[in-house]
């Protein structure tokens, strides 16, 4: 299990050597906070397969452990995005073995606050999640609703509650898909993912706030799931991921439209 830190700039990866770092882990969640100009990291699973509930921030030079009075429970496979309206990071879901989470939390730079929306998606982990600035909503697709199984539902966060959408067409059920907003197209882009039968996908879909549409790019990454994803200069970028049973990838792809 790795505990190294890398940054991407101008299509070049650079390994960093900070004074301190979070302990090695996998399955953690990360999001960039543009107001505080730092990356926030939460949770994951350590080398002893224990679930973690620690919060760290990266300021471009080093990692700092935060010690808020309140935190989400230890978990793996949660998802986080920055929400401009609340000037905070939004976290949803995750798992700690057989315990699945369907809770919603906010990080304001100092502490975590649990939210209690009237409606929430069913508990899940390893779902796709992205902020959609064109519609000022957070979008969730799919994920793992339990030990085994995948889902294909779409939910949006309006700022105060979750609302399920029911588009006529949508990607097949999956876990570990990558989702990020494409500024040029004005839509959320979804790529890849897999199911519990070791099948991986290499399809590309867009969400426009009402419906999913499948695209057919001239070139696509090979099938994979659980890749790192970010919106870089307004376009989705993915790194790595897993194919089938523990075949790890180290390639970087940027989405440039169809």
Which residue is associated with the tokens 């169809």?
Answer: 258
Q: Which among 33, 34, 28, 25 has a CA at the least distance from the CA of 2?
A: 25
Number of domains making up the chain: 2
Please, are residues 202 and 221 in contact by the beta-carbon 8 Å criterion? yes
Percent of the chain exceeding pLDDT 70 equals 100
Higher pLDDT, 209 or 149: 209
Q: What angle do CA 107, 43, 181 make, to 5 degrees?
A: 60
In a domain, 35, yes or no: yes
Distances from the Cα of 219 to the Cαs of 207, 216, 222, in angstroms? 20, 8, 9
Domain of 5 in residue numbering reads as 1-83
> 76 and 166, same structural domain?
no
168 pLDDT above the threshold of 80: yes
The CATH number given to whatever domain includes residue 131 is: 2.120.10.80
> 146 and 254, same structural domain?
yes
pLDDT, position 147: 73
Please, are residues 7 and 13 in contact by the beta-carbon 8 Å criterion? yes
191 pLDDT above the threshold of 80: yes
198 pLDDT above the threshold of 80: no
Bridge partners, 227 (sequence order): none
> 126 and 79, same structural domain?
no
148 pLDDT above the threshold of 90: no
CA distance 100 to 27: 14
Q: Which among 71, 76, 136 has a CA at the least distance from the CA of 106?
A: 71
CA distance 148 to 132: 29
Report the DSSP pairing between strands 29-33 and 112-115.
unpaired
> 123 and 250, same structural domain?
yes
Count of helices and strands (H, E) across the chain: 0, 21
Across the chain, what does the average pLDDT equal? 96
Give how far the C-alpha of residue 42 lies from the chain's centroid of Cα atoms, to the nearest Å.
12
pLDDT, position 87: 97
Q: What angle do CA 137, 139, 141 make, to 5 degrees?
A: 170
> 141 and 66, same structural domain?
no
In a domain, 91, yes or no: no
197 pLDDT above the threshold of 80: no
DSSP class of 125: B
Q: What is the pLDDT of residues 30-55, one digit of tens each?
A: 999 999 999 999 999 999 989 999 99
Q: What is the pLDDT of residues 69-97, one digit of tens each?
A: 999 999 999 999 999 999 999 999 999 99
> 121 and 208, same structural domain?
yes
pLDDT band at 258 (very low <50, low <70, confident <90, very high): confident
> 71 and 129, same structural domain?
no
């Amino acid at each position: 299990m790795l505990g190294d830190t890398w940054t991407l700039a101008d299509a070049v990866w650079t390994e960093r050597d900070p004074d301190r770092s979070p302990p090695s882990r996998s399955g953690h969640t990360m999001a960039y906070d543009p107001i505080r100009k730092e990356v926030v990291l939460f949770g994951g699973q350590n080398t002893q397969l224990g679930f973690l509930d620690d919060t760290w921030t990266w300021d471009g030079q080093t990692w700092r452990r935060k010690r808020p009075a309140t935190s989400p429970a230890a978990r793996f496979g949660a998802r986080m995005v920055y929400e401009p309206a609340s000037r905070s990071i939004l976290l949803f879901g995750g798992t700690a073995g057989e315990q699945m989470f369907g809770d919603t939390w906010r990080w304001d730079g100092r502490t975590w606050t649990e939210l209690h929306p009237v409606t929430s998606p069913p508990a899940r982990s390893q779902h796709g999640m992205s902020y959609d600035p064109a519609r000022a909503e957070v979008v969730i697709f799919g994920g793992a609703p339990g030990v085994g199984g995948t889902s294909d539902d779409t939910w949006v966060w309006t700022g105060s509650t979750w609302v399920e959408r029911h588009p006529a067409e949508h990607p097949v059920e999956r876990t570990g898909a990558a989702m990020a907003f494409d500024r040029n197209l004005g839509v959320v882009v979804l790529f890849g993912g897999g199911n519990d039968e070791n099948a991986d996908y290499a399809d590309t879909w867009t969400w426009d706030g009402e419906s999913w549409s499948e695209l057919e790019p001239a070139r696509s990454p090979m099938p994979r799931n659980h890749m790192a994803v970010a919106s870089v200069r307004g376009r989705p970028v993915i790194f790595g991921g897993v194919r089938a049973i523990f075949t790890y990838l180290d390639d970087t792809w940027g989405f440039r439209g169809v």
